[in-house]
């Protein structure tokens, strides 16, 4: 729907100004008439007194005196007041033009800041824009303090490049009066009784303006500006500073909300690792780029018994602990995915099975060492490993790894089995790498898989 453009409403101030101008004109006209009458009366009295009305010379002298008197009267009664009024109006017009220029400049600053922040795709980009904007706010030291992820500490996130940072000593969000109150706070003298303790402790006497930065409805930071004592920030500059605080908080909130929703869409809620859909997208990308990788299919042993014996909370802790350990031993670029239930897929990019196997064994050793200190009931994991040399794309590689995993479970669990390429159609061989030696075997008949794989 297009916006409806409304006609401008009459400005009562302008109406009163027009009325006042009309009254002023009437008054000045009356003054002029009165001045002329006074001049005429004075000249008439002088001419009568000195007999200037007799003769042509007397008449000319009378006319000349009358003209001088009239001009003097008009100047005194109307000319000077009108000149003063015009000078006053010129000053008012100049002030109004200056005010309009300031308003237009403020609107342009807001529009430019909005556009710059809209182009900022990440928080560091937002902070760079804010840092540059602080230089345009005022010729004063200025900084942005933001809370960390734990919301227990404030740290300097940006500062004015030209004017430097005030280096406020506040360390926590609730230690800042502006953040605590959720509104702007101004201190004109750091030595005053009602001043911020972090200003009072400074050696020099200063004034300060603190504006909270609200992110997703919660004050999460502050814009801090300092200046000479008893010199508050002019209204125009304060408006700009408030605009920076408002727009920066809004952009940070939007980016954090988008990041949170994107993270929720791509990760498993319980473990924080990739979910199945996200991993499939990543594997599809690797297949398109013809990037080699190995896939380890992991399954927590006797997980149903662990849940039934210790409760589902203990089972959740076991899943989270395994995900943490798997991430800790993975290399940069590797992926950990909760595939479903107690099953995980571990993807080692740029590896084949011989390069990935030591990483998986390190995972099993780290898991065994860390369980005692984690408070999680003891559990083990079985794994099957395959790589892209098997061909056929991600789904087939995962199927080979799953077959090797089933073999690992069938042969006693708590071990890694590396699958090998089928020698003939419809047959698969697997090689046990731990704890057994490589043993070729025919493709076994399918076995029923219970809930506790």
Kindly report, residue by residue over 102-118, the tens digit of the pLDDT: 889 889 999 999 999 99
**pLDDT given at position 128:** 95
Is the overall model pTM greater than 0.85, yes or no? no
Domains 123-264 and 276-434 share a fold: no
The domain defined by 123-264 folds into: Beta-Lactamase (3.30.450)
Residue 308 has pLDDT above 70, yes or no: yes
Return d(Cα 140, Cα 132) in angstroms, integer.
Answer: 13
Joined tokens for residue 8: 């401008």
Return d(Cα 191, Cα 354) in angstroms, integer.
Answer: 71
Q: Quick one: pLDDT band at residue 425, thresholds 50, 70, 90?
A: very low
Residue 314 has pLDDT above 60, yes or no: yes
Query: pLDDT of 260-281, one tens digit each?
Result: 887 777 888 899 999 999 999 9
Average pLDDT score, the chain: 82
Return d(Cα 236, Cα 131) in angstroms, integer.
Answer: 19
Return d(Cα 176, Cα 196) in angstroms, integer.
Answer: 8
Q: What are the boundaries of each domain within the chain?
A: 17-80, 123-264, 276-434
**pLDDT given at position 203:** 86
Sheet holding 335-340, edge to edge: 335-340, 343-349, 293-300, 381-387, 416-420, 429-434
CATH of 276-434, one of 3.30.70.270, 2.60.40.10, 3.40.190.10, 3.50.50.60: 3.30.70.270
> Worst-scoring range by mean pLDDT, 22-36, 45-59, 209-223, 283-297?
45-59
Strand partners, 206: 228
């Amino acid at each position: 729907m297009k916006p409806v453009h409304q006609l401008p409403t009459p400005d009562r101030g302008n109406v009163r100004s027009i009325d006042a101008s009309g009254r002023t004109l009437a008054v000045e006209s009356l003054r002029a008439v009165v001045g002329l009458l006074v001049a005429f009366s004075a000249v008439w009295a002088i001419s009568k007194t000195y007999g200037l009305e007799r003769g042509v010379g007397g008449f000319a002298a009378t006319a000349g005196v009358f003209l001088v008197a009239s001009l003097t009267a008009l100047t005194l009664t109307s000319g000077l007041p009108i000149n003063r009024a015009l000078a006053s109006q010129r000053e008012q017009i100049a002030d109004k033009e200056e005010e309009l220029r300031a308003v237009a400049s403020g609107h342009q600053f807001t529009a430019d800041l909005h556009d710059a922040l809209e182009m900022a795709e990440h928080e560091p980009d937002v902070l760079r824009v804010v840092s540059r904007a602080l230089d345009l706010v005022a010729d004063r030291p200025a900084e942005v303090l933001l809370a960390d992820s734990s919301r227990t500490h404030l740290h300097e996130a940006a500062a004015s490049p030209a004017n430097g940072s005030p280096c406020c000593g506040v360390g926590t969000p609730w230690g800042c009066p502006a953040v605590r109150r959720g509104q702007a706070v101004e201190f004109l003298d750091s030595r005053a009784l009602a001043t911020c303790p972090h200003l009072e402790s400074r050696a020099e006497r200063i004034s300060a303006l603190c504006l909270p930065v609200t992110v997703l409805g919660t004050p999460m930071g502050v814009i801090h500006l300092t200046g000479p004592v008893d010199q508050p920030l002019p209204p125009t500059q304060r408006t700009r500073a408030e605009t920076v605080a408002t727009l920066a908080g809004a952009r940070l909130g939007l980016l954090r909300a988008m990041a949170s929703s994107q993270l929720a869409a791509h990760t498993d809620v319980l473990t924080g690792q990739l979910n199945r859909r996200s991993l499939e997208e990543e594997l599809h990308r690797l297949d398109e780029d013809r990037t080699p990788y190995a896939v380890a299919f992991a399954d927590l042993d006797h997980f149903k018994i662990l849940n039934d014996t210790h409760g589902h909370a203990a089972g959740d802790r076991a899943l989270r602990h395994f995900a943490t350990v798997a991430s800790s031993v993975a290399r940069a670029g590797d992926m950990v995915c909760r595939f479903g239930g107690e099953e995980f897929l571990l993807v080692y990019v740029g590896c084949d099975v011989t390069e990935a196997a030591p990483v998986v064994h390190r995972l099993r050793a780290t898991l065994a060492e860390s369980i005692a200190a984690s408070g999680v009931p003891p559990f083990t994991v079985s794994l099957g490993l395959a790589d892209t040399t098997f061909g056929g794309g991600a789904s087939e590689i995962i199927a080979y790894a799953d077959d090797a995993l089933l073999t690992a479970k069938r042969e006693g669990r708590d071990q890694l089995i590396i699958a090998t390429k089928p020698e003939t159609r419809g047959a698969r061989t697997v090689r046990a790498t731990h704890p057994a030696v490589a043993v070729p075997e025919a493709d076994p008949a399918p076995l029923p898989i219970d809930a506790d794989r």
